[in-house]
Structures are given as C-alpha cells and as structure tokens.
C-alpha cells in the first residue's frame, strides 16, 4: 500500500461499498453513494481523525458530490482492507479543456512553466472531480485548485512566483504546495510568509495542522520548516 496522503483517490472493493451502503444515510446521500458504487467511482483521502498506528486503524475518506446532488460533502470511514487500490487526481495539462476558453491558453503556459521547474501539478477540487468522474461539477464561479509537489523551499518559491505571474486573470487559481513529508501550505499564504507580509503559516498534514511562525523576523527564516518538509 502506498503511504496515504491528502487528496489521494481511493477505490473501494465490492465489499467496501457494501459496508458503506449498509450505513444509515439519508435518502439523498444514499442515492449518491449508490450511484458512486455502481459506477466504480473513487473517494478521496481526507484528514485522518484517528492515528494511523496500525493496519487495523480505519481510513477516513470523503465524497464531494457533483451539482446533481447539491454538492454534498460526505465523510466515510472504512477499514483499510476495503480499499482496492489508490490513484491520483489528473494532471493540470489533462483538464485544461474543461475550463473556460479564455483561460486555456494562459493555463497551458502555466502548466509548461511549472513542468520546466520540475513541479508535478495536479488539479483537485471541482475541476479534478469533473475530470475523474465525467460528471458536472463546474459552474461560472468555479476556481481551479492545484496540488503542486515541491522538493524544497526554493522550488516552492519558484512555483508560487510562476502562479503569480502566469495564472489567468479571470480564473482564480488556489491550491497547495506539497512537500516531501506530506506537509502542505496554500501557495498564496506561502508567498505572503516568505515576503514577510505575515508571521504565521498554516501547514496541513494528514493527521491535522501545525502553525509555523517566523518569530517576528522581517523576512521569515526557513530553517525549521525547510528541515521538516524538505
């Protein structure tokens, strides 16, 4: 089994879906889950509410429903043995055609620039779910959420700078810079922290969140955070 991480896709076995559907859901949730099970669609790994200290620990998953089910967010707990396999959300380059035409050219330039930096970039959120399921998630106010895998602080700086310079003006691009140990920070917050415009940075992890502080320094030193998440 690969190490679990946030925004990882998980495909349940038939046994797993049977266990999920046997739980006491309301009518709308049950209809959505039955459709998900019938189509063999994935769930997503979310924050783990119990320590992952053994194979017997349950895995917390989520389902972000499409427009048809009012964009419901469902939390689901399953045994690890009920997960058949894991996968990932699509790469940015593979979902650009799903987005407004006016944004497609600058997004292709953004994807190419991030690739040259060696940053692996995936789309999650509404864009990623629509790409994975083929169902209707996007609407006129949809944002683009990106998962950007970076090796160190310097690469994170370069990725954030690229997004600030290249992202399309009429489409909000959000998302996280994800370091090697799974620690993730919002790219806009990272840029603000690095420039000294804020003295605290929220670091999200599989089991919860941490706050990294710069102790009032004019420009945050990266020592402790870089050591933890490089």
pLDDT digits over 189-200, tens only? 999 999 999 989
Geometric angle at alpha carbon 118, from 114 and 124, rounded to 5°: 55
Residue 17 is predicted with a pLDDT of 98
CA distance 28 to 152: 44
Residue 214 is predicted with a pLDDT of 59
The whole-model pTM stands at 0.88
Per-10-residue mean pLDDT of the chain, 230 residues long, equals: 88 98 97 98 93 80 96 96 96 94 92 96 97 93 95 96 86 94 94 93 92 55 43
- Active-site residue numbers? 143, 145
Q: Which helix (H) or strand (E) holds 12?
A: strand 9-12
Please answer whether residues 109 and 92 qualify as being in contact, where contact means their C-beta atoms are separated by less than 8 angstroms: no
Residue 54 is predicted with a pLDDT of 67
Q: What percent of the chain stands above pLDDT 90? A: 77
Q: Which domains does the chain have, with CATH numbers?
A: 9-87 (no CATH), 92-229 (3.30.300)
């Amino acid at each position: 089994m690969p190490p679990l991480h946030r925004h990882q896709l998980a495909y349940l076995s038939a046994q797993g879906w049977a266990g999920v559907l046997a739980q006491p859901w309301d009518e709308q949730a049950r209809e959505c889950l039955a459709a998900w099970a019938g189509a063999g669609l994935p769930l997503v790994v979310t924050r783990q509410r119990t320590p992952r200290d053994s194979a017997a620990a349950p895995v917390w998953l989520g389902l972000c429903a499409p427009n048809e089910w009012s964009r419901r967010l469902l939390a689901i707990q399953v045994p690890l043995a009920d997960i058949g396999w894991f996968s990932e959300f699509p790469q940015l380059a593979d979902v650009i055609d799903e987005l407004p035409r006016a944004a497609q050219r600058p997004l292709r330039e953004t994807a190419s620039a991030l690739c040259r930096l060696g940053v692996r970039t995936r789309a999650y959120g509404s864009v990623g779910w629509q790409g994975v399921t083929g169902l209707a998630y996007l609407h006129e106010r949809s944002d683009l959420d990106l998962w950007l895998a970076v090796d160190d602080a310097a690469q994170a700086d370069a990725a954030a700078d690229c997004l600030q310079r290249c992202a399309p003006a009429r489409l909000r691009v959000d998302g996280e810079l994800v370091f090697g140990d799974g620690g993730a920070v919002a790219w806009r917050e990272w840029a603000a922290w690095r420039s000294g415009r804020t003295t605290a940075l929220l670091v999200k992890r599989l089991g919860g969140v941490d706050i990294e502080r710069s102790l009032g320094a004019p420009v945050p030193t990266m020592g402790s955070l870089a050591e933890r998440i490089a």
